[in-house]
Amino acid sequence: MPADPFLEEDFRVLTPEAFDFVLTNELKRAVRSQSFLTLLIGEPTLREVPGAPVAEEPALEREAAVRQIARLVSREVRETDLLSQTEQAQLSVVLLDADLPNSLRVVDRVMARLENYEFPRPLAIDIGAASCPTHGADAASLRRSAKARTVHPQRDVDSTPRPDSLPGWDKSSNAQ
């Protein structure tokens, strides 16, 4: 059991129960104060690589990938935003006081960071988003909407860095 009953990790990932409690209260606050709140749901999928060994424990590897993603996402969002890992190996993020267009900018920034990170195995990452009050005013309807509204479908994240992210790589020398 973690030292803090509300956190799963040492870097701001709430337990699912604490996340649900805070999400419900933040939704009430958003409705009362007529502000926005956006729920993002990220779901990584391990990609099979021809010639590579098949994952022995795919559920554990997927869970580890969600933890790595959560650690990276926690660096890209505000301290006040909420993060949680679900039992289904998904990452839930609540961006407080953020409408959908501004949240999509955050998603783009996060995806740019994930695309340049070297994961142990290649991943495809699905990100869905829903905003309160536009897509719902309660946790269940926001979750359904976020799962149905994929904003970045199956973005592949390789296990090797892209050449243009390597130091010393010159685009002009590779231009055709």
What's this model's pTM, rounded to 2 decimal places? 0.78
> Which residues have a Cβ under 8 Å from the Cβ of 93 and sit 6 or more positions away?
39, 40, 41, 42, 73, 77, 81, 82, 83
Domains of the chain: 13-160 (3.30.70.270)
Quote the CA–CA distance of 117 and 114 in Å, as a whole number: 5
pLDDT in tens, the chain (176 residues): 445 555 555 567 888 899 999 999 999 999 999 999 999 999 988 887 676 666 677 788 888 889 899 988 988 899 999 999 888 889 999 999 999 999 999 999 998 888 888 888 888 888 999 999 889 889 999 999 998 888 865 555 555 444 444 344 344 444 43
Q: Which two tokens stand for residue 74?
A: 């926690």
Q: What is the dihedral of CA 63, 65, 70, 72, to 10 degrees?
A: 170
Measuring CA to CA, how many Å separate 100 from each of 55, 77, 106?
A: 36, 15, 10
